[in-house]
Amino acid sequence: MTEASAALVDWPPGDSGTAKFLRNHDWSQTSLGSVETWSLALRTAVEIMLATRQPACVAWGSDRLLLYNDALAVLLGERHPAALGRPLADAWNDARQAYRPIIEAVLNGRSQQTADLPLGLMPESGAFARSGWTWTPLRNEAGVVAGFHCTANAATTDFADGALFGAARERSEERERRLMLELQHRTRNMLAVIRSIVRRSAETAASPEDYATHLEGRIDAFARVQSAAARDPLGGVDLGSLLADELLAAAAREGDQVTIEGPPITLRAKSAETLGLAIHELTTNAIKFGALGAPRGHIAIRWSVGGEAPLRRLVLEWKESGVRGPPPREPREGFGTELLDRTLDYQLGAKVERRFEPNGLRCRIEMPLTERIIAENR
């Protein structure tokens, strides 16, 4: 089992009933295939859907297999859990004609907003009869629409206070609108980053085997950041968790091999992507030449924040120790050195200092904590 496959054993994260079902279901017998073969775009869409408070679903693949969250499971009534993982045409058959033109438009790449269409999901209940929906096309790594994300904005029932219901509905719709915009932006960004990783890894690889190994590791690192961002789509990614996740994927034991210390910092998803790839390159170097490849090696990672807003700065220090022998030669120009020396500066305004010492690598990353980089702590 590869590291990527092992990481997906506990995927998707979460304790909800539908998340547990998705984890335990044998997807290899469906058109989606086993979970480890699912695309990054599909996994990210599913994680965002599961984190959504409103009833939501993802339909994916040639037969539009239906994946949904606990809130939509309530509306499905007795049809849950049989509808989970079934073709949309089977699970939503009684509303098929009403939704057909909408679904066709979405699959042609056009987002849709519908109001007061029949749910047709609860044959026993009159409490939720009609709903407004937001429909968002989902694209695969090739940029082709492979499915869609659908969220119920509100379901009508009898409310004693119509004004309160109206206000609650407006808040719900605004949150879902922001969520859909974030999903669309993140999907486009993911495809662009993956294309860049593939291209630059190919340009700097020493051999086909080297290319395959490094490409898999970099895409896995990128996927870990996306999973972390999907846990709170409108929030950000915790810096400490970002570091811990990457080192855990390398089987580094916190305490014995790694020390991670610093104040809470929440990064915006885009900043976390860039910094996460940089941490992956440092980790890979430590496995090959540094502390993670030495019997008594250790990495101390500490960060601090100085200055006052809007001029605050983050200083992150990576110090390896326990490495014996002469210091390794500085690696040739490649993906990792380009990322550390130029990409961090270009995208985050970061200044990076690296020294290859006899005891191990020293790396210092300093960057401004602007609104573009840091998310509001919530």
Q: What is the pLDDT of residue 315?
A: 96
Asked if 174 and 32 sit in the same domain, the reply is yes
Classify residue 228: in a domain, yes or no. Answer: no
Q: Vertex 150, ends 145 and 151: CA angle to 5°?
A: 155
> Looking at residue 369, which CATH number applies to its domain?
3.30.565.10
> Looking at residue 103, which CATH number applies to its domain?
3.30.450.20
Residue type, 204: T
Asked if 127 and 271 sit in the same domain, the reply is no
Q: Which of 13-17, 99-103, 106-110, 230-234 has the lowest mean pLDDT?
A: 230-234
Q: How confident is the model at residue 173 (pLDDT cuts 50, 70, 90)?
A: low
Classify residue 206: in a domain, yes or no. Answer: no
Q: How confident is the model at residue 123 (pLDDT cuts 50, 70, 90)?
A: very low
Judge contact between 312 and 306, C-beta under 8 A.
Answer: yes
Asked if 113 and 52 sit in the same domain, the reply is yes
Asked if 158 and 11 sit in the same domain, the reply is yes
Enter the DSSP assignment of 290: S
Classify residue 195: in a domain, yes or no. Answer: no
Residue 88 CB-density burial (10 A; 0-12 exposed, 13-18 middle, 19+ buried): buried
Q: What is the pLDDT of residue 213?
A: 79
Smallest Cα–Cα separation from 94: which of 82, 106, 79? Answer: 79
Q: What is the pLDDT of residue 209?
A: 81
CB-side neighbour CA atoms (13 Å) of 73:
19
Q: How confident is the model at residue 124 (pLDDT cuts 50, 70, 90)?
A: very low
Q: How does pLDDT run across 52-88, given as a tens digit for each residue?
A: 888 899 999 988 999 999 988 887 777 788 888 888 8
Q: Which residue has the tokens 């629409």?
A: 145
Q: How confident is the model at residue 200 (pLDDT cuts 50, 70, 90)?
A: confident
Q: What is the pLDDT of residue 165?
A: 42
Q: How does pLDDT run across 277-335, given as a tens digit for each residue?
A: 999 999 998 998 899 988 889 999 999 998 877 788 999 999 999 988 766 565 566 77
Share the mean pLDDT of the chain. Answer: 80
Total domains present in the chain? 2
Enclosing domain of residue 171? 3-186
Q: How does pLDDT run across 265-289, given as a tens digit for each residue?
A: 999 888 998 899 999 999 998 998 8
Mean pLDDT of 206-216: 79
Which of 158, 186, 214 is a domain's end point? 186
Asked if 22 and 156 sit in the same domain, the reply is yes
Q: What is the pTM of this model?
A: 0.54
Classify residue 215: in a domain, yes or no. Answer: no
